[in-house]
Each structure stands twice: as C-alpha cells, then as structure tokens.
Homo-oligomer: A and B are copies of this chain.
Amino acid sequence: MPEPQDLDPRKAAILEAVVNEYIGTAQPVGSQHVARSAGINVSSATVRAEMVALEREGYLVQPHTSAGRIPTDKGYRYFVDQLGEPGVLGPAQRQKVSRFFEQVHGEMEEMLERTSGLLCDLTSYASVVLPPGHESAPVRSVQVVGLGPRLALLVVVLADGAVEKRSIELDEEVPEAALTQVTVRLQAAAQSRPLGGVLDAGPSGDPVVDRVVDLAAAAMADLVSADHDRVFVGGSSRLAAAFDAVDTVRSVLGILEQQLVVVSLLRDVLERGLSVAIGAEHGYEPLASCAVVVAPVPVDGHEVGAVGLLGPTRMNYPQALAAAKVVGERLGQRLGSGEQAGQQLGPGEQATAAGGARGRRRRHAGR
C-alpha cells in the first residue's frame, strides 16, 4: 500500500483546501475557490492540473463532469493523518468543558450521560460514551437479598461507586438466615478483590448455602462480561441535520439503537490504535457514509473507557478530534480520582446527600 505521505507540499495544500472548504459548505469545490484559498499561490489552471493528479491518485472525485471535486475517504484519511496535533478547542469550547467538569456531579451513570450531552454540544455530532469496565475495581460489598420464595438478588458494590445486580433463581426455598450466611461468606471471599478475581468461598457444611454461593459466584462471573454492552448515546437528532438523504438518517439511527454494534465498533477502532475511522475503514457497511472519532478515557494510566463521535465523513475532524481527546482525558481524570477516593462530587458541592433534585433534573443527553 502506497505511503500516504507521497504527496508533494502543493498537492497536500490543495487537498487540505478542498477538505476544509467541503467540510464547511458540503458543495463540490472548484479550482477557483482553491486558488483563492490562503496558502495557495498558483493560478486556478495549475490547481486544476494538480486536481487531475489528485483524482487519479484517488484523493478526490468529481460527482460529475464539470463539477468541482470532493474528497474521497482516502483524501480525508490523508488530511487527518497530516494534522499531527489533534488541534485545540476554541476558548469558548474550552470553557464549556471546564465548566462542565467543575459542576458535574451525581452518580456515574448520570455523569456519563451528561458527558455525552457535552460532546454533542461541543461538536454537533452524535456522541457515544463507553463507560469503563470495572473488572479491575475492587469489590466493596456483596449482598444477597431475598426477594421471593425462590428468588434472590445479588447486589455488588464496587469501589468506584458502581452497583451491579443480578437476579438469582433458586431451586428451592431458602430461609432468610441462609441468605445472610451466603452474604457473609461471599463478602469474605470477595472483599477488596477485583470483580473478576473472586475466590472460591469453600464449603460451609450447609449444602443449601453452598448451592446459593455457587449460583451467586456464577452470577458475579457473569457480571464481569456483562458490563461491556452499556453505552450512552447522545445527540442522535444531530444526525438528521448532517445527512440529507432521509434513509441514510434512518439507517444510521437504527444502528445507533443497536448498542452492541456501537460498542464493538468503538472498541474495534480503538484497538486498532486509530482515533478516526472514515467511511468503510470500520467494517460496517451501513455506516459507510459516516466517520467515527474515538478517544480513550484513560483511568489511572490504563485505558478503560472511550468517548466517540459519529458524523458524516465530511466531518470537522480537527474540532471533533480535539473535543473527543479533551473530554476523554478530563472524564478519565474525574473517574480516576473517584477510583481512589470514591470522589464523584464536584468540589463546590455541599456536604449533603448528593445529587439533589436540582442537579438531577438537568439531564440533557438523550440515551
């Protein structure tokens, strides 16, 4: 595969001008526009000649003869690779981010949801927030609560403030006392260990208790893999504006509704070390007219979550990259500080029952 860096500086400048113009106007860009752009000091005829070359090499296409050019996916890719630095947000945007992370508070789910709203607000694209998995978060508490004659609920509290639950259906009626015993045994076996690393509790002598402990342990193992498909999607209404074809909107929205697809898409892109997937670069055919920008949410060093933006391929990449990067980092810091101290409240927050009605009612991000 040919190196993308094989463009001479003038071609690169022309390509950049086309991309920038097209991102703004969504109209094919003609040679005159390019010639008038800053940084281009040649005539339109020369630009035309270069454009022919760029088209031959696959960076541009003409929608039809006698129209301007628009970038191909390859063109966008080159453009994105060129801008080494992710760019910075404008001052207004920066302030929005700072203000957001100063004042945000409440339970983690709500914070993630509102983070998704922030991203939409910053970029006007649809946003996705993948919460960090908590395989590695130490267990703070395990509890088995009876709900009915043959039904119990396993409730696990993790050090990062997450609470997970799972129903357990029992083969037989189990007295409350036995469940208490189960809780005690599990608590001992799981306390301070990561969720994935809960050790066997060992036999207790009471077969009923052992049986329930086994069921609960299975449920806990299940929880570890379960939290992968949680995801917060926001701003899907922005997509309606981004695409003009109604059925494109419909199909993209439909995909955003399949959370599992979204999750694996983002993880996949992230795993390949990319921060942008343009057009068909991710495998999903139905999203071929979309670009995805991803940034990790690094919590205490290792990356555990992700934020993403979904928009048309003619996306404002510098802005989107900057927004995703900054928000991902800040979110990671926030979650990281929580991991250590369980801190999830804003600094200015009153020392009181957290997340009063005032804050909670301010949800903006859609799911």
Q: Which residues of A contact B (CB under 8 A)?
A: 106-107, 140-141, 143, 145-153, 155, 157, 159, 161, 163, 165-171, 215-216, 218-219, 222, 225-226, 229, 232-238, 240-241, 244, 246-247, 249-251, 253-254, 256-260, 340-345, 349-357, 360-361, 363-367
CB distance from A53 to the nearest CB of B (A): 37
Is A148 a contact partner of B342 (Cβ separation < 8 A)?
yes
Given A168-B354, A244-B246, A253-B253, output 4 extra A-B contacts at Cβ < 8 Å.
Answer: A140-B146, A155-B157, A167-B344, A246-B246
- CB pair B259–A367 under 8 Å, yes or no, is yes
Contact in complex: A253, B226 (CB < 8 Å): no
Choose among B155, B167, B234 the residue that contacts A345 (Cβ–Cβ < 8 A).
B167
A250 touches B256 (CB 8 A): no
Q: Per a CB cutoff under 8 Å, which of B140, B244, B254, B363 touches A147?
A: B140
Contacts of A367 in B (CB 8 A): 232-233, 257, 259, 366-367
Among B155, B216, B345, contact of A169 (Cβ-Cβ < 8 Å): B345
Cβ of A354 and Cβ of B169 under 8 Å apart? Answer: yes
Contacts of A229 in B (CB 8 A): 360-361, 363
Q: What is the bound-complex CA distance between A247 and B241, given in angstroms?
A: 7
Number of copies: 2
Q: Is the CB of B153 within 8 A of A342?
A: yes
Interface of chain A: mostly helix, strand, loop or mixed: mixed
Chain B residues with CB below 8 A from A355, complex form? 166-167, 222, 226
Known pairs A147-B342, A367-B366; A222 contacts B357 (CB<8 A): yes
Q: How far is the CA of A215 from the CA of B345 in the complex (A)?
A: 15
Most chain B CB neighbours (cut-off 10 Å) among A106, A226, A235: A226
Instruction: Tell me the nearest residue of chain B to A250, going by C-beta.
Output: B240
Residues of B within 8 A of A257 (CB): 234-237, 364-367
- Contacting A249 at CB < 8 Å: which of B157, B240, B365? B240
- Complex CA gap A141/B157 in Å reads 14
Shortest beta-carbon distance from A217 to chain B in Å: 8
What's the least CB distance linking A363 to chain B, in Å?
A: 6
Residue numbers in B under 8 Å from A171 (CB-CB): 351
Given contacts A163-B165, A258-B366, A355-B167, contact A253 B237 (CB under 8 A): yes
Question: Which of B143, B167, B357, B365 is in CB contact (< 8 Å) with A226?
Answer: B357
Q: Which of B147, B349, B353 contacts A219 (CB 8 A)?
A: B353
Chain B residues within an 8 Å CB radius of A150: 341
Do A143 and B141 have beta carbons less than 8 Å apart? yes
Which chain B residues lie closer than 8 Å to A351 at the CB level?
169-171
CB neighbours of A107 from chain B (8 A) = 165-167
With the chains together, A341 CA to B173 CA distance in Å? 12
Q: Which residues of B contact A246 (CB under 8 A)?
A: 240-241, 244, 246, 249
